[in-house]
Amino acid sequence: MSLAMLCRPSHLMSKVSRHLALPSTSSNRLVHLSASDLWTNYEQAKGWLRSKKLPPDIETFGVFCNDRIDMEEVEVYGFDYDYTLASYKKGVEYLIHDIAKEHLVKKYGYPDDIARVVYDPHFAVRGLHYDVEKGLFLKVDSSHQIQLGTVYRGRQKLEDQEVLAMYKRRQLPVTFLESTSSNKKMVQLVDIFSKPEMSLMATVMDYFMKNNLEYQPESLYYDVSTCIGAAHATFHSETRSNPNLYLHRDPELIPWLEKLVQANKKVFLITNSPFETVDAGMTFMVGKQWREFFDVVIVQAGKPHFFTNNAKPFREVDVERKIFLWDTVTTLAKGKIYAGGTIDHFQNLTGWRGGRVMYFGDHPYADLADVTLLHGWHTAAVIRELEMEINKMNTDQFKWGVNWQQVLMALIEDHQGVEGEEARAVINEWKEEVSTIQNSLRSMFNPQFGSTFRSHNNPTYFSRKLFRFSDLYTSRVTNLLSYSLNHSFYPRRGALPHEFKSWFV
């Protein structure tokens, strides 16, 4: 069963209506039902749903499809390193957070108390927007609407009225959400390293507000962002020295790479990380001969500029002397290491183009957007949050809640034209119950912001980009080991709002 099917049981609306013989209404046709009649229909609907089996579990390690892909056509497999081939332990987030907070105190003069704050891995979810000017975290859906109840200044939740007073509207203009270097009203915090960044910003804001200290939200964002960036150098050093402390060793990674090589697939690596970090990590995960699996290895690529042809030319890396060679790169040879480069030069030297290539990355924008939109590569997103979220969705509590919510909304839709004060009060009570269910479902994933992928019934802004820029998505690259290299992935046909509802769509 696919990820979205459980979240969108639209067939229930027509099915329960047929079962209960609910009268069809429109906005200009009132239904003369008493409050007692409404509650009778309510209990019948709940009884009907209880008589049904809960949906089957979603495959935790499944591969999910946004577009039809015939894997038989893919001849070249490319990979990012961080959070794609390399799966980091939670300790990395603590490390990044703690290095950054030390930089805030020592290099930017923040109060000494900031050096003692503790990382909270449960505060934020990936894909939130941060309003640089107002200093707010907020969750936005695929229609650019703010999800009310998920707007925070630090860890202080803002009331809906305050949010609407500030923004004057729920739907944000695209110029706010798609920030540029000259117009950065909001930033979207997309990669895994953003979680310690958001936690640190929230903690510092809380400290300033608690101690009645004035601060500039813009300066706080830029200071924390700079310190998070600076922490990467220490992060690389620590992971090189102690890969066992920070990296998971996936027992299926070697069989996956062997499967590709034995099928005569070409395999390449393009990463922003330096060679020393990649070498230490891949040696730990795969062994000293890891380079034999790859036809081309490119480090310090400077993505996303690599994919927009705004990066520096290729340079061969002398791994023994740890220097870049001055010679012009005229071929990308197996066994050698290269740095920098551009995608056009890469394609010209290798001949690997278009739908023959599939690239795996964890960042829907920096890794996947340009290669699919501009160069026609197939793409696969590696999203580790899927495993946690699917495990939550496989609980009976979630399955019942999401399906009862849909049935209850169908009842409201069919009866919202009722007359009479008591009957209208019942409808309002049902609406309150829907809201309660939605908040309960949201809290199952994250108490503050809910699911990474959903904003109640709509996909999140993050999901919209994920679905647009990736043909496949999964929680780890090795999940494809369970599929044939000739497997055909078919996207599910979903019912559009104007189409009929059926068990079969």
- Would you name the residues annotated as active-site residues? 80, 82
**HSE-CB for 247 with a 13 A CA cutoff:** 29
194, 139 contact by CB (below 8 A)? no
Instruction: Reply yes or no: is the peptide bond before residue 491 cis, omega within 30 of 0.
Output: no
Rounded Cα–Cα distance for residues 255 and 415 (Å): 57
Measured CA to CA, the distance from residue 240 to residue 18 in angstroms comes to: 62
Tokens of 112: 């000494």
For residues 284 and 290, give the distance between their C-alpha atoms in angstroms, rounded to a whole number.
Answer: 9
**Backbone φ and ψ of 189, nearest 5°:** -100, 100
Neighbours of 106 (CB within 10 A): 12
Q: What are phi and psi of 280, to 5 degrees?
A: -65, -45
Could you tell me the CA-to-CA distances from 61 to 2, 11, 409, 462, 479 in Å, in that order? 11, 26, 31, 20, 6
3-state SS class at 134: coil
Secondary structure in 3-state letters for 306-337: HHHCCCCCCEEEECCCCEECCCCCCCCCCCCE
| Residue 75: HSE in the Cβ half-sphere, 13 Å Cα cutoff | 7
Q: How far apart are CA 267 and CA 303, in angstroms?
A: 19
How many angstroms from the chain centroid is the CA of residue 388?
A: 12
